[in-house]
Amino acid sequence: MRAMTTVYLVDDDPLVTDSLGMALKLETPYDVRVFQSGGAALAAVAEFPADVVITDFKMPGMDGLELLRNMRARLPDAILMLLTGYADKDSAIQAVNEVGIFQYVEKPWDLHDLLLKLKAGLEQKDLTRRLRETTADLERRHAELERSHADLERAHDQLERAQERLVANERLAAVGRVASGIAHELGNQVALVGYAEAIKARSGGNAEINELADVIATAQKRLAAMVGEIKDFARTPEAAAESPRVAPEPADVASVVDEALAILRYDREVGLRRLVRDYRARPLARLDRGKFAQVIINLVRNAAQASSMRAAITLSLEENPGDGVKLTIADEGSGMPSEVLARLGEPFFTTRGERGTGLGIGISRRIVEEHGGSLAFESEVGRGTRVVIQLPELV
């Protein structure tokens, strides 16, 4: 608000402007400016904006109603007052309705009444200004609170995720330590089973002994593979950092997938299913060919074991600029309920009974993550499962 309140008095009658103008200057601390026409008053607005406009109704050229309309357009917050005779009350009512004037003053005016109305108008103007400022301040504070609330929610979500990861990592570390010890002991004992080959060699061709030795040798291979999986799982992030398991180099993703499928031609269960390739692109990515092929083999075997004979297993490969490489392995099997889907990757959790260790998916996920990618499952009971691998594109 300006230091000096400016009041316009507009009337084509010099007697009115002289007498009323002088009275206002003597009785108030305001900067009172008098004009004999509406045009002169409007011309002064740009240099000296008015806080209050008091105008006569009947004036040549531009009447008071038209002047007040123009003033309202230029000075939305100004207090507008109309000087009118008793016979012009209808015009005053029109001004109230159309222009939103604050008051009208009948001629001859009562100076004390006029000053009270003038004071009330300025108080209302000041209250309106303060209300607007308070409203703007409240809106600003509300916006800040909303931003702070959103920031707190994001921070809370991040903290929860970090806590979940910490708990999961601690749990996995504990399981890993136990698994590592078990694998070490199992490895020592499994090595002894290798004597089955020596027994077979010394059996003198005894068919029964040879058959039993073959069973033992098969079990030894199975146990050795299981020990390898447990050791893979038990590797800590620190150990992985010191001695990385993956050595990625630029590779054609499709060719690595084809290499894995070529190995699977000799897998009995996979051979009884239809492998469908849907390569929409041949993207390049940084891959450890052997480790990534291990992931493909594991996931395709899982898909085969979840599917019926002759069912299709579809491998789709695509590349979207900015989103990287996407490899999808989809089966037509029985699918999984949400509670099973949520536990995939948990150590030793398996849906294959004695045929699985429950470590394959966790190991596969770790290998993909060590490539800078992600592995996710989508499944619906009765409609099959989709495994989605996302890899960063080669840059």
Report phi then psi at 387, rounded to 5. Answer: -105, 125
* Pairing label, strands 274-279, 31-35: unpaired
pLDDT tens digits along 60-82? 888 888 898 899 899 988 989 88
Place of tokens 């040879």: 210
The CB density around residue 301, as the number of other CB atoms within 10 Å, is 18
Q: Which residues contact 13 (CB under 8 A, 6 or more apart)?
A: 56
pTM flag (> 0.75): no
Quote the tokens at residue 40: 């002169």
Residue type, 67: L
Q: Which residues is 104 bridged to in the sheet?
A: 82
User: Shortest CA distance to 64 belongs to which of 106, 12, 17?
Assistant: 12
Yes or no: say if 308 and 338 are a contact pair by the CB < 8 Å rule: no
Maximum distance among all Cα pairs of the chain, rounded to whole angstroms: 144
pLDDT at residue 339, as a whole number: 81
Structure confidence at residue 328 (pLDDT): 95
Q: Which pLDDT tens digit goes with each residue over 268-319?
A: 888 899 999 999 999 999 998 888 988 999 899 989 988 898 899 999 999 9
Query: Whole-angstrom Cα distance, residue 36 to residue 30?
Result: 19
At 185 the pLDDT is: 56
Q: Torsions phi, psi of 315, nearest 5? A: -110, 115
How far apart CA 4 and CA 27 sit, in angstroms, is 15
pLDDT at 202: 77
Tell me the CATH number for domain 6-109: 3.40.50.2300
Distance CA 38, CA 59 (A): 8
Which residue ranges in the chain fall short of pLDDT 70?
A: 1-3, 85-92, 94-96, 98-99, 167-196, 215, 217-245, 345-359, 395
Architecture of domain 249-391: 2-Layer Sandwich (3.30)
All structural domains of the chain with their residue ranges? 6-109, 165-236, 249-391
